[in-house]
Amino acid sequence: MEQEKVIQIRDLKVYYKQYRKNIFGKKRRHQVLKGVSIDVFEGEILGLAGESGCGKSTLAKAIVGMNKDIEGEINLKYSDTQMVFQDPYSSLNPSKKIGWLLEEPLRVDKERKWTPKERKEKVLEIMKAIGLPKEMLERYPSQLSGGQRQRVSIGVALMRSPKVIIADEPVSALDVTIQAQILQLLQQLNRDLGITILFISHDLRVIYQICNHVAIMKHGEIKEYGIPYEVYRNPQNDYTKELLTAAGIK
């Protein structure tokens, strides 16, 4: 069965502004992505692996429209794509209560108006989905543990029932046992709600555990793409081999 593509990227180039070295210097553009092409299929979890500075976060930001200076094509099947960030300590506004944070996506929803009652109902539904007790709605982010906060950030992303979620290193800042729980939650959302997840991580083990496909990035290019089992077993690219060795897999 040919699966539908929810994200289709063709020859994407992203540039960052580089500051002038001195007042007479030229403003230079620094190319971060050098022609990336990739497809994300409906209902899958795609792992995007690579080390810091390889451009994986840049790719994510380009998809959700946070990078403006781009060339190439990005076709999205669904307009509403939400993101979950790495650091649950900075992705939740410290001055707002959990309930407020969860309601906010509905308050600013351009598609439809939500009545306060509908908002409350949806919040309770999501709290159930992310496995947090509803007493926590009255708490501030600082009163939650790292794992609970990351659940809340996932909840915030889920509020408008998006079909695609981009998770940028969502478990890197967490303890291993908590990591396992969050991964389980993501898998469950993928399975039960059919949400497509673009999962960005530097950890090849984690990617192996939950992803249907993996793309290995280095210096703004995709070096290798495939099913994790096959890529890990028989890596074609030198860099992939190096990563696998470093992670103690091969």
Partner 1 sequence: MGNVILDVADLHIEFHDHDKPETVVEDFDLMLEEGEIVGIVGESGSGKSMSALAIAGLLKRHALTKKGRIMFNGTDLLTCSRKELRSYQGDEISMIFQEPMTSLNPVKKIGWQVEESLRIHHKDIDKKERKRRAIEMLTAVGMHDPEKLYEKYPHELSGGMRQRVMIAAAMIGEPRILIADEPTTALDVTIQAQIVELLRKMNREKGTAIIFISHDLSLIRQICKRVIVMQSGNIVETGYVEDIFRHPKMSYTRKLIAAIPQIDLS
Partner 2 sequence: MKKFFSLFKKNKATGERNTFLLLGVIITGFILLMVIVGLFYTPYNPTKMDASAKLQGISFKHIMGTDNMGRDVFSRVMYGSRITVAIATFTILIGAGIGTIIGALTGYFGGIGDEITMRIIDAMLAFPSLLLSLVFVSLFGTGTYQVAIALGISFIPSFARIVRGEFLRCKNMDYVEVARLQGASNIRIIFVHILPNTVGVLLSSVMIGFNNAVLAEAGLSFLGIGAQPPHASLGKMLSDAQGYLFNRPSYVMSIGLVIVLMVLGFSFLGEGIKRIKN
User: Is the CB of 81 or the CB of 150 nearer to partner 1?
Assistant: 150
Residue 208: name the closest of 189, 245, 233, 238 by CA. Answer: 233
Q: Quick one: which of 40, 62, 83, 211 contacts partner 2 (CB under 8 A)?
A: 83
Q: List 131's β-bridge partners, or say none.
A: none
Stretch that binds partner 2, among 33-41, 123-131, 153-161, 173-181 (CB under 8 A): 153-161
Q: Quick one: which of 41, 180, 187, 237 contacts partner 1 (CB under 8 A)?
A: 180
Per CB under 8 A, 74 contacts partner 1: no
Query: Exposed, middle or buried: residue 19 (CB in 10 Å: 0-12, 13-18, 19+)?
Result: exposed
User: Is the CB of 70 or the CB of 244 nearer to partner 2?
Assistant: 70
Q: Quick one: which of 9, 40, 85, 189 contacts partner 2 (CB under 8 A)?
A: 85
User: Is the CB of 153 or the CB of 240 nearer to partner 2?
Assistant: 153
Per CB under 8 A, 64 contacts partner 2: yes
Per CB under 8 A, 241 contacts partner 1: no
**Beta carbons within 8 Å of 113's beta carbon, 6+ residues apart:** none
Interaction partner, residue 232 (partner 2, partner 1, none; CB < 5-8 Å by kind) = partner 1
Interaction partner, residue 18 (partner 1, partner 2, none; CB < 5-8 Å by kind) = none
What tokens were used for 77? Answer: 């099947």
Stretch that binds partner 1, among 22-30, 121-129, 150-158, 177-185 (CB under 8 A): 177-185
Stretch that binds partner 2, among 36-44, 82-90, 117-125, 170-178 (CB under 8 A): 82-90
Cα distances (angstroms) measured from residue 204 to each of 144, 174, 211, 226, 236: 28, 16, 10, 13, 16
Backbone angles phi, psi at 77, to 5 degrees: -75, -40
User: Is the CB of 203 or the CB of 221 nearer to partner 1?
Assistant: 203
Contact set with partner 1 (CB under 8 A): 51-52, 146, 175-180, 202-206, 208-209, 229, 232-233, 242-243, 245-250
